[in-house]
Amino acid sequence: MANFKTHITASTLLGAGYGVAGYYWGEFPVPSCILAGGLCSISGMLPDLDSGPGVPLRESVAFAAAVIPMMLVPRFESVGMPGEMIILAGAAVYLLVRFGLAELLKRYTVHRGMFHSLPAAIIFGQLAFLLSPGDDLNVRLFKAGAVVLGYVSHLLLDELYSLEWYKGRLRLKTSFGSAIKLLGGSMWANLSTFGKLAVLTWVCIREPNWVADYQQRIAQRQSRPAAEKTKTENASSDAENPEQLWWEEMARMWLQEWMVR
């Protein structure tokens, strides 16, 4: 099995190449290319989060807890979340990652279980897609691709290290096939992985619509003449408070989303 240093070196080199390629051929902005390169580099160590309690897990979780809320701030802003609520939501996400996610990883992962699999690579790509700020779909897909690439580079290296020279012949270690796989040995882990994959796929497809829909509603509502507002909502004529607006529109949007189904 390849060690931490080998993994991070490989994924960092790949990330640098991916960023440069994105700049030249994809014509993505420089910051997006650097960020994508960095994401690819970090993703090279993600599969080994299943190695149980220890320095890699602790450090990665602490890093994720700090960075994920920061990545989410522009997303919260894009759906018009009021300032104080962004702070509260950021703090909630921090606690969720720092304690919730850490506990889940410690308890429910088995080394070389479903964390070392192709569906897991796609799941992490989808999470990156959902976390990426901005309305430019291509940039978000570019960053998600970086995560999948870094993740798969780890799986590939693990598989390469399961080949060894023994008495002049190439032979396979028992770990062969335990990194790049679609299904693992545990039925429950397989179900849970493919369940997550299905839910995230649905969310990723619908999400750009949700944001656009919400922004459109807010724009419509704000452009409505004041007289009509008082007539239809029997609300007081003073300016709408942003918090109320946010909750109302969010609730309406979700109700509709579920009624359609």
Q: Which is nearer to Zn ion, 85 or 156 (CB)?
A: 156
Sorted by sequence, the CB contacts under 8 Å of residue 58 that are 6+ apart come out as 102
DSSP string, 86-124: HHHHHHHHHHIIIIIIHHHHHHH--TTSTTSSHHHHHHH
Q: Pick the stretch among 47-55, 64-72, 163-171, 181-189 that binds Zn ion (CB under 5 A).
A: 47-55
Q: How far is the CB of 128 from Zn ion (least distance, A)?
A: 19
Does the protein bind Zn ion through residue 158 (CB under 5 A)?
yes
Interface with Zn ion includes 50 (CB under 5 A)?
no
| Per-residue CA distances from 216 to 73, 80, 210, 220, 221 (Å) | 20, 11, 10, 6, 9
Q: Quick one: which of 22, 32, 48, 57 contacts Zn ion (CB under 5 A)?
A: 48
Interacting span for Zn ion (CB under 5 A) from 30-38, 43-51, 184-192, 250-258 = 43-51
Minimal distance, residue 5 CB to Zn ion, in Å: 13
- Cβ-based nearer residue to Zn ion, 3 or 244: 3
Written as one letter, the residue type at 228 is: E
Binding of Zn ion by 249 (CB under 5 A): no
Q: How many CA atoms lie within 13 A of 88 on its CB side?
A: 5
Of the candidates 50, 40, 41, 58, the one whose C-alpha atom is nearest the C-alpha of residue 5 is 41
CB-nearer residue toward Zn ion: 48 or 249: 48
What is residue 44's DSSP assignment? T
Nearest-CA neighbor of 127 among 212, 85, 67?
67
Q: By rule CB under 5 A, what count of residues binds Zn ion?
A: 3
**Nearer Cβ to Zn ion, position 93 or 121?**
121
Of 42-50, 53-61, 68-76, 132-140: span binding Zn ion (CB under 5 A) = 42-50
Which tokens hold the place of 13?
Answer: 């080199």
Stretch of 45-53, 90-98, 226-234, 246-254 contacting Zn ion, by CB under 5 A: 45-53
**CB nearer Zn ion, residue 158 or residue 249:** 158
Using CB positions, name the residue nearest to Zn ion: 158
Q: How far apart are CA 211 and CA 217, in angstroms?
A: 10
State the minimum distance, in angstroms, from the CB of residue 112 to Zn ion: 7
In angstroms, the CA 184 to CA 193 distance is 10
Residues in the chain: 261
Closer by beta carbon to Zn ion, 86 or else 110:
110
The least distance separating Zn ion from the CB of residue 153, rounded to whole angstroms, comes to 11
| Smallest gap from residue 115 Cβ to Zn ion (A) | 8
Q: How far is CA 13 from CA 8, 17, 126, 172, 229, in A?
A: 9, 6, 22, 27, 57
Rg (CA), the chain: 22
Least Å distance, CB 154 to Zn ion, is 6
Positions in the binding site for Zn ion (CB under 5 A): 47-48, 158
